[in-house]
Structure 1
Amino acid sequence: MTIEEKIKKLGYELPKAIKPVGAYTPALKIGNLLFLSGILPFVDGKLLKTGKVGKNLTIEEAQNEAIKVVLNALAIVKDYIGSLENIKQCIRITGYVATTPDFTEHPKILNSASEFLIKIFGDKGKHCRVAVGVCSLPLDSPLEMDFIFEL
């Protein structure tokens, strides 16, 4: 089963690759590593959820947004290298979560992204991770993530 077939089996569709909203490249390959810029949970070019986790979004809503970010990341990878089958390993995810000052459950939000990657890639989806709480993100997004993949 291909990676895209696994994604569909889990009930998701790989979207079209999102375009940058600033002066940067969405992906940069150096040697056998592919670095992705910060990715927001866009759906058809729009953020369906905005605000802060703990105020405007529940943990469950933010977990769903994290999966949208992973799907957008994989769409960028496919657009950049042609196939998700060329991914050897997800190396690292950095997740930034816009939260209220007293919120401390950042790992729970990013767990949904990590678990999703493991479901579709198996051991190749296991990665290092950083979860950071921030006071705001671009476009009032509740979540932003960047990725490093080995090809």
Structure 2
Amino acid sequence: MASRIETRLRELNLILPEAGRPVANFVPCVQAGSLLFVSGQITTWNGQLRHVGQVGAQVSLDEARAGAQLCALNLLAQVKDFLGNLDRVERVVEVRGFVNAAPGFTQQPAVVNGASDLFVDVFGEAGRHARFAVGVASLPAGAAVEVAATFAVREVSSRRVDVFFYGLFMDVELLRAKGVEPKGVELATVDGFALRIGQRAALVPVAGARVHGVAMSLTSSELHQLYSEPSVQAYKPQAVLAHLASGAVIAALCYNLPEAPSPSERNAGYAARLRAIAEKVGLPAEYVTSLR
């Protein structure tokens, strides 16, 4: 399954090159705690050098900016090769840009913007970073630009969390298709809330009401993966008491919208999908028919 960041790259019509191998005595990436330091990348595409020469002489400003973007793509290729998943990038911390500049050329910041703009386009606010951009007399292989970067990365957590789902994520097959492997799946209810369906489902506090759903455990990283999807990013976790079909009561996380849909909102297609899933997982028939 493609990561959220790789999906964003495709939306921008960008493709990652292959991660290049070092040609001297260094490694592409070093992780120290939550920081990932990535060695400088030059203007190569799958090992073929592009954008060669001094900027302001043989290489135009626009070509150099494109070269800086290529350096950024090479950086992301190295990050993916090292981490396995670009969604583990929490933010871009620092970018270090070197421009092979002709004497008198002073637009190094405009060149390195090619890399900076890409990071912001891909990661949004998390792509904004500290930076320097300097001119140098030459670069390896005569490349026009070299860029290095530091990223903050999320640790992969194997800690499992109990979760109560009341929407489409009740469907274990749907979760598995997203690369998530739930454990301890069991029907459950949460008291004191009613389900409201607008464009998506949400819970609203209602005394005496009861919501039916499914409880299960996921890892912290699986939860982060699920709720990083653009369609559900607005949902925030809150603690609830889930009453399991087995009779146990557990503390669980339940993801809900900060503002519930208005009573006038309707999404017949979503409601139909939710009814189908509710019936599939075995929720009470009268509850299923109430999902409108």
Normalised by the size of structure 1, how large is the TM-score? 0.97
**3-state secondary structure, aligned to 2:55:** coil
Q: Which position in structure 1 is the counterpart of 2:17?
A: 15
State the number of aligned residues. Answer: 151
Offset of 1:119 from its aligned partner? Answer: 0.7
Structure 1: distance between partners of 2:46 and 2:122: 23
Q: Are residues 1:98 and 2:92 paired?
A: no
Q: Which position in structure 2 is the counterpart of 1:41?
A: 43
Offset of 1:15 from its aligned partner? Answer: 1.4
Q: Which position in structure 1 is the counterpart of 2:117?
A: 115
Which residue identity is paired with 1:93? V
**3-state secondary structure, aligned to 1:88:** strand
**3-state secondary structure, aligned to 1:114:** helix
Q: Which position in structure 2 is the counterpart of 1:61?
A: 63
- Highest CA radius of gyration, 1 or 2? 2
Offset of 1:55 from its aligned partner? Answer: 0.5
37-46 or 124-133, which moves further after superposition? 37-46
Task: Name structure 2 gaps, 5 residues minimum.
Answer: 154-292
Q: Which position in structure 2 is the counterpart of 1:25?
A: 27
Offset of 1:8 from its aligned partner? Answer: 1.3
Considering fraction of residues, name the structure with more strand: 2
Structure 1: distance between partners of 2:117 and 2:46: 24
Q: Which position in structure 1 is the counterpart of 2:164?
A: none
> Equivalent of 2:135, from 133, 136, 141?
133
Considering fraction of residues, name the structure with more helix: 1
Q: Which position in structure 1 is the counterpart of 2:150?
A: 148
Q: Which position in structure 1 is the counterpart of 2:84?
A: 82
Q: Which position in structure 1 is the counterpart of 2:267?
A: none
Please, what is the CA RMSD of the aligned residues? 1.0
Q: Which position in structure 1 is the counterpart of 2:223?
A: none
Structure 1: distance between partners of 2:21 and 2:48: 12
Structure 1: distance between partners of 2:44 and 2:50: 7
Offset of 1:150 from its aligned partner? Answer: 0.4
Which residue identity is paired with 1:116? L
CA-to-partner distance for each residue in 1:13-71, whole Å, 9 max, x for gaps? 01111111211000000000000111111112011221100001101000111111111
Following TM superposition, the consecutive aligned residue runs of length 4 or more in structure 1 with deviations greater than 4 angstroms are none
Q: Is the 8 A contact 2:43 2:145 kept in 1?
A: yes
CA-to-partner distance for each residue in 1:55-111, whole Å, 9 max, x for gaps? 011010001111111110001000001110000110000000001110000010111
Normalised by the size of structure 2, how large is the TM-score? 0.51
Which residue identity is paired with 1:140? G
Structure 2: distance between partners of 1:81 and 1:57: 34
Structure 2: distance between partners of 1:17 and 1:56: 27
Structure 2: distance between partners of 1:33 and 1:122: 19
Structure 1: distance between partners of 2:63 and 2:18: 22
CA-to-partner distance for each residue in 1:106-149, whole Å, 9 max, x for gaps? 01011121111111101110000000100000110111111000
Which residue identity is paired with 1:13? I
> Equivalent of 1:73, from 68, 75, 79?
75
Offset of 1:12 from its aligned partner? Answer: 1.2
Structure 1: distance between partners of 2:40 and 2:51: 17
Task: Name structure 1 gaps, 5 residues minimum.
Answer: none
Structure 2: distance between partners of 1:49 and 1:91: 26
72-81 or 10-19, which moves further after superposition? 10-19
More contact order relative to length (CA 8 Å, sep ≥ 6): 1
